[in-house]
Amino acid sequence: MDLADDVAYSVHDVEDGIVAGRLDLTRLDRDALWETVRSWYLPGIDDAALDSALDGLRAVGSWPQSAYDGSRRSLAAIKNLTSDLIGRFCGSVQQATFAATDDEPLVRHRADLVVPEGTEVEIGVLKGIAALYVMQADDRVTLMKRQRELVAELVEAIWSRGADALDPVFAGDWQDAGDDAARRRVVIDQVASLTDASAVTRHAALAAG
């Protein structure tokens, strides 16, 4: 499951960042990128290993040679890259896992998943690209800070109002709760159930009323 998450997020976060115009795979600041990879994902990894991983990724046939321009052809090229990278990562893990089992049948729990070090570093590089150009972008950091503040304010607003500020299903849980800790848990569950849009709407309604 951890590997599936790493593959999916590393590839699709980069794809989303490209389409959103936040990053260009033909123009990467290696120094800043390696700093991000080490601080976020792979502490202690050296530049040589990271350079080798990026060079390996850039050798993938569908790696872009020009900036994304929003055209159908350009979008199709990015989709091809996404597919190729997923295949590259999953294929390398499959081959390594088969090689470690001496061709024994892989049934039930007879094998452990083997992730080659090179594949782990390549995934880390992709995750670092998304972190550097999307998650650490100034506007994104500001937005996330405000989102955290809004969630904290929403929790406190609901807590101060009690059952009246809760949806019926959570209001029932509030009434059944035996102490403040349990009631606090109900408030957290209520906020966690909201979408981004409904959290903003609920926050505005409570602030106004």
| CA neighbor of 200 nearest in space, from 135, 149, 136, 138 | 149
Which of 40-44, 73-77, 101-105, 165-169 has the lowest average pLDDT? 101-105
**What region does 64 belong to: left with phi over 0, alpha with psi -120 to 50, or beta?**
beta
| CA neighbor of 78 nearest in space, from 26, 36, 137 | 26
CA torsion 61→67→69→75, rounded to 10°? 30
Alpha carbon distances (Å) from 180 to 151, 184, 202: 19, 6, 22
Indicate the pTM of the whole model: 0.73
pLDDT in tens, 149-158: 999 999 999 9
pLDDT in tens, 116-149: 999 999 999 999 999 999 888 777 778 888 999 9
Handedness of CA 131, 136, 141, 145 (dihedral sign): positive
Instruction: Tell me 183's DSSP state.
Output: H
Q: What's the CA gap between 122 and 40, in Å, rounded?
A: 14
Looking at residues 7-32, what average pLDDT do you find? 94
Both tokens of 165, joined, read: 């500020």
